[in-house]
Amino acid sequence: MCKSENVQMCKFRCLIVAVLVATAVPSHAQSFSVIKLPKLLEIMAPQNDTAYVINFWATWCGPCVSEFKNFQNLAEKHKNEKVKVIFISLDFERNHKKTLIPFIRERRVKEPVYLLDEPDYNSWIDKVDKDWGGELPATLFINQAAGKKLFWAKPFTYKELEETFKQFISK
């Protein structure tokens, strides 16, 4: 308890302790990184035996938002396996504070999130998949160990995502 002559100092100490405790608690929601095409190409060319599920999406895309939790659930279900779910946001970089950051925080996203800052879509879409017309959502499955690469430009229900993933990871 604070003595009356030290009330201000006591309040200050309590405030400092509260700030330290609040910042020491790990956040479930992670931030994101802004990337350019070279980093995207690096992400799409893993040199390991992990299976990757790379989801291209945007906060302004209704079907993307609807299926987002399905990818989080897939990542959670397979968290002890050599599986990695990655989100590539195609939101506008200039709007990330109003759109992307709140989205990531509200959904407590644990998986890596990258915002691709390449406004000339025609210059890079073919590098993801030669048949991709740019529609969202889109998902790229990569399994280097099995020599498999699969691309879908469509939304997934959880059941469809899990079934596609199971077929994809089988050798």
pLDDT tens-place string over residues 112-168: 999 999 989 888 999 999 999 999 999 999 998 888 999 999 999 999 999 999 888
Give DSSP secondary structure letters for the chain. Answer: ---GGGHHHHHHHHHHHHHHHHHHSPPSS---EEE-HHHHHHHTS--SS-EEEEEEE-TT-HHHHHHHHHHHHHHHHTTTSSEEEEEEE-S-GGGTTTTHHHHHHHTT--S-EEEE----GGGTHHHH-TT--S-SSEEEEEETTTTEEEEE-S---HHHHHHHHHHHH--
User: Does residue 5 lie within any of the structural domains?
Assistant: no
Residue 19 has pLDDT above 60, yes or no: no
pLDDT band at 31 (very low <50, low <70, confident <90, very high): confident
User: Does residue 131 lie within any of the structural domains?
Assistant: yes
User: Does residue 1 lie within any of the structural domains?
Assistant: no
Higher per-residue pLDDT: 59 or 94 = 59
Higher per-residue pLDDT: 5 or 47 = 47
What's the rounded mean pLDDT across residues 109-113?
96
Residue 12 has pLDDT above 60, yes or no: no
User: Does residue 7 lie within any of the structural domains?
Assistant: no
What's the pLDDT score for residue 115? 97
Residue 27 has pLDDT above 90, yes or no: no
Nearest to 16 by CA among 27, 24, 4: 24
What's the pLDDT score for residue 90? 96
Higher per-residue pLDDT: 58 or 23 = 58
| Domains: count for the chain | 1
- Note down the domain range covering 111: 28-169
User: Does residue 23 lie within any of the structural domains?
Assistant: no
User: Does residue 56 lie within any of the structural domains?
Assistant: yes
What's the pLDDT score for residue 29? 45
User: Does residue 68 lie within any of the structural domains?
Assistant: yes
Give the end-to-end CA distance of the chain in Å, rounded to a whole number. Answer: 66
Distance CA 29, CA 12 (A): 29
User: Does residue 133 lie within any of the structural domains?
Assistant: yes
What's the pLDDT score for residue 13? 55
> Tell me: the pLDDT tens digits for 61-99?
999 999 999 999 999 999 999 999 999 999 998 888 889
CATH value at residue 137: 3.40.30.10
pLDDT band at 53 (very low <50, low <70, confident <90, very high): very high
For tokens 């020491």, name the residue: 24
**68: number of Cβ within 10 Å:** 20
Angle at 42 between CA 35 and CA 49, to 5 degrees: 135
